[in-house]
Amino acid sequence: MKYALIIPDGAADTPAEDLGGKTPFEVANIPNISWIAQNGRLGTVRNVPDGMPAGSDVATMSLLGYDPLEHYTGRAPLEAAAQQLQIEPDDWIFRVNFTTIIDGVMEDNSAGHISTEEARALIEDLNATIAPPNVRFYSGVSYRHLMVIKSELDVKTTAPHDILSKSATEHLPKGQGSQILRDIMDAARNMLADHEINATRRDLGDNAATDIWLWGEGKMPTLPSFESRYGKVGKMITAVDLLRGLASLIGWECIEVEGATGYLDTNYAGKGAAAVAALDDCDLVCVHVEAPDEAGHNADATGKVAAIEQIDEHIVGPVLARLKAEGDDWRILVLPDHPTPCAIRTHTAEPVPFALAGKRIESVMHGKFTERDAAASDLQIDCGWELMEYFLTVR
């Protein structure tokens, strides 16, 4: 039995004015995902439990079959697992974004999607100039990085993508030890102000990395392996450390694809080809595509439509064809982790549509893969982590 899980991150949305009052899924030409919806089961699933942050960390943990209420400790530790950092049990791990803050307002949570090369140089300089002895910065990809600190903390932070065009000052870290974090952020701002990389970016008309933003804190979790929990061997294809970290923690191999960027220009065809090949020697392959989420954060409904169509053509299509070549011994599941509505440029905790097809999956309603049709279906799963067991074991 072969299984494929395709995650168009953040693709669920609300009706957009510039799409004629329709959602990206309603506008997109997605014949392969439509086939799955019309020949299998269509439904909705809530991947973010009540009271938890509506991020890909919580939602994807749930989607992969692990209850976030039991296992979640924060976003940053999951990304640290991807980098295989040596973390002590009492270490606090923070996500570090390079951001653009102007007149106290969070204008850009990615500093213009700063390049990895530029960001790596800035991280090196942060370590050399402003990091106290109990702090270490670790470079990641583009604007996404980490900080590990040995300190007694009990803080509350806010994700920068949740406060776009809002006051950054009002959302600085709060709680026990928050002044330590604010001091680090202030020192970083002073260092970045006159940095030659930012001078060059300004000359080119790009957003400067004016600040670092600390958030997503937590200590390293432990998760039971996917094989011990579900009896299946899985592999992950993604361009972001969050998913790499989750895969590492549950014992999945990560497959790296050249040209996979995590943005709208990612190598969709390369991901599809890698997924097809991976099915030869694993039970379940998971393909995660960040592009729709990035489009949502950028309020780019047209870009989200284009990303969804690329996913359908270059990933879902080839994977579905490969599975059908197995005869009847396969299942495929397509769903976003959470919505990222273009209208608000951030995540929400609303249920997302999913489509499931394959062996012993019988169609109940022949709906389209849209938020509206999924909400009208007879299959509504309120605890997201239960969907994985349904996907693997339903008879």
Q: With 80 as the cut, is the pLDDT of residue 280 above it?
A: yes
Q: State both tokens at 100.
A: 């653009």
Task: Tell me the average pLDDT of the chain.
Answer: 95
Query: Looking at the domain assignment, is residue 77 inside a domain?
Result: no
Single out the residue in 189, 218, 247 at which a domain terminates. Answer: 218
- The pLDDT-based confidence of 101 (bands split at 50, 70, 90) is very high
Amino acid at 328: D
Gyration radius from the chain CA atoms: 21
372 shares a domain with 236:
yes
Q: Which residue shows structure tokens 């979790």?
A: 221
- pLDDT at 358 exceeding the cut of 90: yes
Give me the mean pLDDT over the 284-310 stretch. Answer: 97
Mean pLDDT of 114-133: 97
What is the reported pTM?
0.88
pLDDT of 117 over the 90 cut: yes
Higher per-residue pLDDT: 331 or 162: 331
What is the distance between the alpha carbons of residues 182 and 155, in angstroms, rounded to a whole number? 11
* End-to-end C-alpha distance for the chain, whole angstroms: 13
Task: State yes or no: pLDDT of 143 exceeds 80.
Answer: yes
Three-class secondary structure of residue 269 per DSSP = helix
> Which pLDDT score is estimated for 141?
86
pLDDT tens, residue by residue, 153-189:
999 999 999 899 999 999 999 999 999 999 999 999 9
Q: Which of 178, 194, 218 is the last residue in one of the domains?
A: 218
Number of domains present in the structure of the chain: 2
pLDDT in the model for residue 84:
87
Percent residues over pLDDT 90 in the chain = 90
Q: How large is the angle between the packed helices 56-63 and 241-249, nearest 10 degrees?
A: 40
Whether residue 249 has pLDDT greater than 90? yes
> Are 189 and 271 within one domain?
no
In this prediction, residues 9-31 reach a mean pLDDT of 97
Please indicate, yes or no, if residue 320 is contained in any of the structural domains.
yes
Q: Are strands 41-45 and 253-255 parallel, antiparallel or unpaired?
A: unpaired
Sort 205 into a burial class: Cβ within 10 Å, 0-12 / 13-18 / 19+: exposed
State yes or no: pLDDT of 265 exceeds 90. Answer: yes
What average pLDDT does the segment 85-103 reach? Answer: 95
Structural domain contains residue 177: yes
Claim to verify: residue 89 and residue 184 sit in the same structural domain: yes
Q: Are residues 388 and 249 both part of a single domain?
A: yes
* Average pLDDT for 139-161: 94
Rounded Cα distance between 376 and 366, Å, is: 11
Residue 78 lies in a domain: no
One domain for residues 33 and 98 = no
- Can you tell me whether residue 208 is helix, strand or coil? coil
For residues 376 and 329, state if they share a domain. Answer: yes
Sign of CA dihedral 339, 340, 342, 344: positive
Question: For residue range 49-58, what is the model confidence (pLDDT) as tens digits?
Answer: 999 999 999 9
Residue 285: inside a domain: yes
At which of 218, 245, 267 does a domain end?
Answer: 218
CATH of the domain at 51: 3.40.720.10
Taking a C-beta distance cutoff of 8 angstroms, is the pair 191, 185 a contact? no
Same domain? For 199 and 120 the reply is yes
Q: What is the pLDDT of residue 367?
A: 84
For residue 327, what are the domain limits?
A: 2-72+222-393
CA distance 105 to 211: 11
pLDDT at 362: 84
The two tokens of residue 380 are 């509504």
Specify if 251 maps to a domain.
yes
* Same domain membership, residue 302 and residue 190: no
- Tell me, yes or no, whether 288 and 385 share the same domain: yes
- Listed in sequence order, the residues at least 6 apart from 324 whose beta carbon sits closer than 8 Å to its beta carbon are 330
**Digit-coded pLDDT (tens) for 209-247:** 999 999 999 999 989 999 999 999 999 999 998 999 999
DSSP string, 41-88: EEEEE--S-TTS--SHHHHHHHHTT--HHHH---HHHHHHHHHT----
pLDDT above 80: residue 365? no
Query: Residues 63, 87: one domain?
Result: no
Looking at the predicted structure, is the pLDDT value of residue 275 above 80?
yes
201 and 253 together in one domain: no
| Whether residue 366 has pLDDT greater than 80 | no
Whether 334 and 387 map to the same domain: the answer is yes
Q: Which residues pair with 61 in a beta bridge?
A: none
Supply the pLDDT for residue 353: 98
What does the pLDDT read at residue 394? Answer: 78
- Whether the per-residue pLDDT at 147 is higher than 80: the answer is yes
371-392 pLDDT tens trace: 999 999 989 999 999 999 999 9
